[in-house]
């Protein structure tokens, strides 16, 4: 038996290695093979010779940190943020955008090929702006507020973040001054809603006495926050609400519950919505599964006769139900709280529909895809943020008699390795 070199060879921690980067892996790191073992080097580009320090080893290979680039790729560009490389928030500011976009598109093609789609119809990537993120979670630790370092719990302190919408970025330094004396550790979630900034602090303990609560309320007023809430483990409690946060989806205003799912930018959401509506055409009876606040269900309801919307998040479903009622849409939009992993909408209930849209979390929607495959519904539109589970679910649909008609990559996470895909499957 040949020895398993991956298992037997110890990483030489601390001894720098000179590596030639072959490709960029799914996680965004440069990948170099040395003695048959894959080495992952953040911020290294294909074709580059780099000096990297091995840090840890797993079944996948050796994780390294980049010490220096000896021979830079012509595709390398200067990052625009001073903490890029240390801050774990962005994986890519150093790669020319056209090359990065081509790499992302190729990931979708490769994932589909792996699942037996020989020549998948993957469209050109629809790109979104880099600096309009409307949600982010920062970490507060020992007086530092910032983003976690890549693969570490250390906080890289920042006073601003050029990737966030300017209104949210401007809150970072004042929030540090406010919160550092109030909590040793906390997670601070910022969301830009149509009512203004919504700030949620998650910390182990409640804010102390009256004075601390007053300081928080004063801060909310001084910075014109829509809402400031605190969650010490038993749910978010609003400490100041100037305007209830809402999101406008088409013509409908939906209340924004604490920590509800929101696409990362308004532009990304619009691109996804555009692609979904294009593929749906004039479908009259539609299901929107994993619907969240109704990002697709509400615009679909403008033209469709009947929309069935379901999601497991009770707060999002309550907000959507209230918005449907307040806008007189109750006869056309049926909203249900449902765990679609354990209890997918069954084929028999899908049979009468013209189309189904499904937009699951990164784990994908294998159980729901099996029900769609077993149903008579003629069109399924998948929205996915994970090419691997997307391709797995695509295989389930293809085995059930669907043809993959189009896959449209939408790059709404431009500085990360992530990519969204909208795909149409037709019988």
Which residues are known to be catalytic?
A: 385
Which residue has its beta carbon closest to ligand SAM?
A: 292
**Adjacent-strand bridge partners of 357:** 288, 381
Nearest to ligand SAM of 291, 350 (CB atom): 291
CB atoms within 10 A of CB 353: 23
For the record, the structure tokens of 329 come out as 């849409």
Distance CA 135, CA 146 (A): 14
- DSSP string covering 215-226: HHHHHHHHTT-S
Nearest to ligand SAM of 109, 276 (CB atom): 276
For the record, the structure tokens of 35 come out as 């003695």
Site string for ligand SAM, 201-240 (x = CB under 6 A): ----------------------------------------
Look at residue 93 and give its three-state secondary structure: coil
Q: Determine which residue in the list 24, 340, 394, 410 makes contact with ligand SAM, applying CB under 6 A.
A: 340
The runs of H, that is alpha helices, within 210-265 are 210-222
Minimum separation from the CB atom of position 163 to ligand SAM (A): 20
For the record, the structure tokens of 6 come out as 């991956």
Q: Determine which residue in the list 93, 295, 321, 412 makes contact with ligand SAM, applying CB under 6 A.
A: 295
Minimum separation from the CB atom of position 92 to ligand SAM (A): 22
Distance CA 139, CA 100 (A): 28
Phi, psi of 367 (to 5 degrees): -65, -40
Q: Which of residues 248-287 bind ligand SAM (CB under 6 A)?
A: 261, 263
Under the binding rule (CB under 6 A), the answer on residue 100 touching ligand SAM is no
Q: Which stretch binds ligand SAM (CB under 6 A): 69-77, 142-150, 200-208, 292-300?
A: 292-300
Minimum separation from the CB atom of position 339 to ligand SAM (A): 5
Nearest to ligand SAM of 336, 406 (CB atom): 336
Q: Would you give the distance in Å from CA 197 to the centre of its chain?
A: 20
Q: Determine which residue in the list 185, 305, 339, 351 makes contact with ligand SAM, applying CB under 6 A.
A: 339
CB 377 within 8 A of CB 278: no
Minimum separation from the CB atom of position 417 to ligand SAM (A): 17
Burial of 281 per CB tally in 10 Å (0-12, 13-18, 19+): exposed
Strands 185-193 vs 155-157: parallel, antiparallel or unpaired: unpaired
Q: Which of residues 297-336 bind ligand SAM (CB under 6 A)?
A: 311-313, 316
Minimum separation from the CB atom of position 272 to ligand SAM (A): 7
* Positions in the binding site for ligand SAM (CB under 6 A): 261, 263, 290-293, 295-296, 311-313, 316, 339-341, 359-361
């Amino acid at each position: 038996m040949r020895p398993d070199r991956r298992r037997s060879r110890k990483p030489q921690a601390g001894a720098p290695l000179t590596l030639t980067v072959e490709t960029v892996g799914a996680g965004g790191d440069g990948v170099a093979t040395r003695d048959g073992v894959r080495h992952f080097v953040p911020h290294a580009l294909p074709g580059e010779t780099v000096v990297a320090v091995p840090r840890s080893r797993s079944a996948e290979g050796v994780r390294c940190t980049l010490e220096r680039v000896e021979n830079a790729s012509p595709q390398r560009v200067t990052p625009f943020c001073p903490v890029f490389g240390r801050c774990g928030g962005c994986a890519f500011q150093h790669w020319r955008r056209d090359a990065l976009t081509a790499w992302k598109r190729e990931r979708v093609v490769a994932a589909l090929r792996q699942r037996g789609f020989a020549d998948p119809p993957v469209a050109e990537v629809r790109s979104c702006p880099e600096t309009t993120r409307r949600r982010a979670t920062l970490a507060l630790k020992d007086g530092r507020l910032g983003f976690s370092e890549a693969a570490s719990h250390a906080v890289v302190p920042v006073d601003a973040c050029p990737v966030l919408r300017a209104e949210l970025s401007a809150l970072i330094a004042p929030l540090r001054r406010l919160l550092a004396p109030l909590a040793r550790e906390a997670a601070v979630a910022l969301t830009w809603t149509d009512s203004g900034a919504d700030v949620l602090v998650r910390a182990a303990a409640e804010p102390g006495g009256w004075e601390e609560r007053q300081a928080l309320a004063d801060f909310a007023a001084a910075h014109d926050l829509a809402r400031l809430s605190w969650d010490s483990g038993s749910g978010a409690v609003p400490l100041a609400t100037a305007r209830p946060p809402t999101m406008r989806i088409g013509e409908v205003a939906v209340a924004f519950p604490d920590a509800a799912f929101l696409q990362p930018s308004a532009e990304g959401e619009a691109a996804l919505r555009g692609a979904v509506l294009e593929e749906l055409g004039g479908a009259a009876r539609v299901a929107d599964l994993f619907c969240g606040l109704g990002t697709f269900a509400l615009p679909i309801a403008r033209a469709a006769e009947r929309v069935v919307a379901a999601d497991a998040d009770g707060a999002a479903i309550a907000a959507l139900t209230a918005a449907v009622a307040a806008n007189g849409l109750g006869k056309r939009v049926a909203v249900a709280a449902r765990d679609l992993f354990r209890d997918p909408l069954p084929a028999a209930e899908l049979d009468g529909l013209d189309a189904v849209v499904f937009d699951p979390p990164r784990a994908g929607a294998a159980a729901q895809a099996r029900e769609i495959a077993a149903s008579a519904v003629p069109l399924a539109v998948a929205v996915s943020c994970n090419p691997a589970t997307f391709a797995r679910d695509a295989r389930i649909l293809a085995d059930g008699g669907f043809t993959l008609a189009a896959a449209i990559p939408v790059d709404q996470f431009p500085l990360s390795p992530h990519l969204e895909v909208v795909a149409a499957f037709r019988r």
